[in-house]
Amino acid sequence: MSLIVQKYGGTSVGSIERIRAVADRVNACRERGDQLVVVVSAMSGETDRLQSLAREIQERPSPRELDVLLSTGEQVTIALLSMALEALGCPAKSYTGGQVHIRTDNSHSKARIRDIDGARVKADLNAGRVVVIAGFQGVDDEGNITTLGRGGSDTSAVAMAAALGADECQIYTDVDGVYTTDPRIEPRARKLDHITFEEMLEMASLGAKVLQIRAVEFAGKYKVPLRVLSSFEEGEGTLISLEEETVEDAVISGIAFNRDEAKLTILGVPDQPGVAYEILGPISDANIDVDMIVQNIAADEATTDFTFTVNRNDFARAMEILDSTAKTLGAREVMGDDRIVKISLVGVGMRSHAGIASRMFASLAKEGINIRMISTSEIKISVVVDQKYLELGVRTLHDAFGLQHADEAIRDLDSATDMVVV
């Protein structure tokens, strides 16, 4: 008998019919002998409906009250799913985040889970019930309702699995697993059977948005095996787990990309200690997240060139701020480009294999794709290229590393080229 936490997103519970289908699936798992906790999101469209009600009243409604409002969305789903389970003769009980003490900090609309009291849930499981829990929500120390932000239901599910010591946390979604890259760009993209937490983190943060990044961090931290599956089709999905449990040992697991990048460069900044802080401080004070950062010594060796990327929506604001910083610092010039994209190779196998970077750069060069920026981490190499090269770049790399077939995935690199450090 396994203890499984299953999470169903908004699309999976988007209608009464779909809620019934989820109940069928849950009940089937229970009849196979597993103990089940089910975490659900609001029915698709419901959160938007509630949010537009709020916006009719106030452009920026109070975060506390917005959480009170939005948390009703999941509460509706838990009640309906429990009813659907009971209609099948499956004993079930629903709980809001507050009722099972999903305790969070008090950052309304983006709260973080601190702890969960699993005792009540365990008692129900031992009594043979399926427990249905509202995702995305919790309560702070004073009993105020909080929400974890969009997609937070994944985190709820993982946190619940960690608190209960569950054998697996299954995230049901509208895709059937994690792919080597986006199949809309590379039709030969292949579903992965396994991937490590670290790889998934890089894939998720780079735009392959199957799972909420915080949920993956949580799962990695508490070593909760995580599985992404389709709620509409049968299949094993993709298991996300620790490295040692991974069966596949391909060097590269996948290719992620991000279309929302914009690049800013400040040229000829006098090279002195603290210059990076003086450039990026005002940007972060304006609540603009910076992604890649690259610094080079300029040709004259007395000044430095500094390049970073931000989300494209923040580009105009960031350019303004950088212009004014340039004046203060006496820099020579500011340049910007919001027609760029980032493409990343991800794989834990990279750690022990050299030659990845050179093969990557060579393949791109062969297709005439100019690399504008490079950044690396232990398990990832990212390049910035002109956005017109996104599709060609992804397909070129997918092919160069043989990702379309599990058997062909490169395992035998022997080039001496090591990680590129810029």
Which residues from 17-46 bind a second copy, rule CB under 8 A?
19-20
Q: Please report how close the Cβ of residue 94 comes to a second copy at its closest, in angstroms.
A: 5
> Binding to a second copy by residue 65, rule CB under 8 A?
yes
Kindly tell me which of 77 and 396 has the beta carbon lying closer to a second copy: 77
How far is Cα 244 from Cα 258, in angstroms, rounded to an integer?
29
404: Cβ contacts below 8 Å, ≥ 6 apart: 180, 186, 188, 189, 190, 398
Angle ∠(297,291,419) on CA atoms, nearest 5 = 60
Q: Please report how close the Cβ of residue 197 comes to a second copy at its closest, in angstroms.
A: 34
Q: Which stretch binds a second copy (CB under 8 A): 48-56, 179-187, 317-325, 349-357?
A: 48-56
Kindly tell me which of 30 and 342 has the beta carbon lying closer to a second copy: 30
Are 47 and 141 spatial neighbours (Cβ–Cβ below 8 Å)?
A: no
Kindly tell me which of 19 and 228 has the beta carbon lying closer to a second copy: 19
Q: Please report how close the Cβ of residue 76 comes to a second copy at its closest, in angstroms.
A: 5
Kindly tell me which of 132 and 200 has the beta carbon lying closer to a second copy: 132
> Binding to a second copy by residue 106, rule CB under 8 A?
no
Q: Which of 16, 316, 365, 422 binds a second copy (CB under 8 A)?
A: 16
386, amino acid identity: D
Question: CA-CA distances (angstroms) from residue 365 to 140, 372, 381?
Answer: 53, 12, 16
Nearest to 180 by CA among 341, 346, 342: 346
Query: How many residues make contact with a second copy (CB under 8 A)?
Result: 36
> Binding to a second copy by residue 66, rule CB under 8 A?
yes
Question: CA-CA distances (angstroms) from residue 348 to 160, 167, 239, 252?
Answer: 27, 24, 15, 7
Pull the structure tokens for residue 11: 């699309």
Q: Which stretch binds a second copy (CB under 8 A): 55-63, 150-158, 243-251, 378-386?
A: 55-63
How far is Cα 217 from Cα 198, in angstroms, rounded to an integer?
8
Q: Which of 4, 13, 80, 410 binds a second copy (CB under 8 A)?
A: 80
Q: Which of 72, 230, 311, 363 binds a second copy (CB under 8 A)?
A: 72
Q: Please report how close the Cβ of residue 52 comes to a second copy at its closest, in angstroms.
A: 10
Sign of CA dihedral 138, 141, 143, 145: negative
Q: Which stretch binds a second copy (CB under 8 A): 58-66, 277-285, 343-351, 383-391?
A: 58-66
Q: Which of 1, 32, 33, 56 binds a second copy (CB under 8 A)?
A: 56
Distance of CA 213 to the CA centre of its chain: 3
Kindly tell me which of 13 and 192 has the beta carbon lying closer to a second copy: 13
Q: Please report how close the Cβ of residue 278 comes to a second copy at its closest, in angstroms.
A: 39
Are 420 and 376 spatial neighbours (Cβ–Cβ below 8 Å)?
A: yes
> Binding to a second copy by residue 298, rule CB under 8 A?
no
Q: Please report how close the Cβ of residue 320 comes to a second copy at its closest, in angstroms.
A: 30
One DSSP character per residue, 228-268 reads: EEESSS-S--EEEE-GGG-----S--EEEEES-EEEEEEEE
- In terms of Cβ atoms closer than 10 Å to its own Cβ (0-12, 13-18, 19+), residue 184 is exposed
Q: Please report how close the Cβ of residue 14 comes to a second copy at its closest, in angstroms.
A: 13
124-163 footprint of a second copy as x/- string (CB under 8 A) = -------------------xxx------------------
Q: Please report how close the Cβ of residue 137 comes to a second copy at its closest, in angstroms.
A: 12
Kindly tell me which of 68 and 290 has the beta carbon lying closer to a second copy: 68
> Binding to a second copy by residue 50, rule CB under 8 A?
yes
Go through the chain and tell me how many residues it has: 422
Element (H, E) at 53: helix 46-57
Backbone φ, ψ for residue 218 (5° rounding): -60, -45
How far is Cα 334 from Cα 282, in angstroms, rounded to an integer?
15
Q: Which of 96, 147, 231, 307 binds a second copy (CB under 8 A)?
A: 96
Kindly tell me which of 98 and 138 has the beta carbon lying closer to a second copy: 98
Kindly tell me which of 62 and 313 has the beta carbon lying closer to a second copy: 62
Q: Which of 6, 12, 41, 94 binds a second copy (CB under 8 A)?
A: 94
Are 409 and 251 spatial neighbours (Cβ–Cβ below 8 Å)?
A: yes
One DSSP character per residue, 398-417 reads: HHHTTTTSTTTS--------
Q: Residues in the site for a second copy, rule: CB under 8 A?
A: 16, 19-20, 50, 53-54, 56-58, 61-62, 64-66, 68-69, 71-72, 75-76, 78-80, 82-84, 86-87, 93-94, 96, 98-99, 143-145
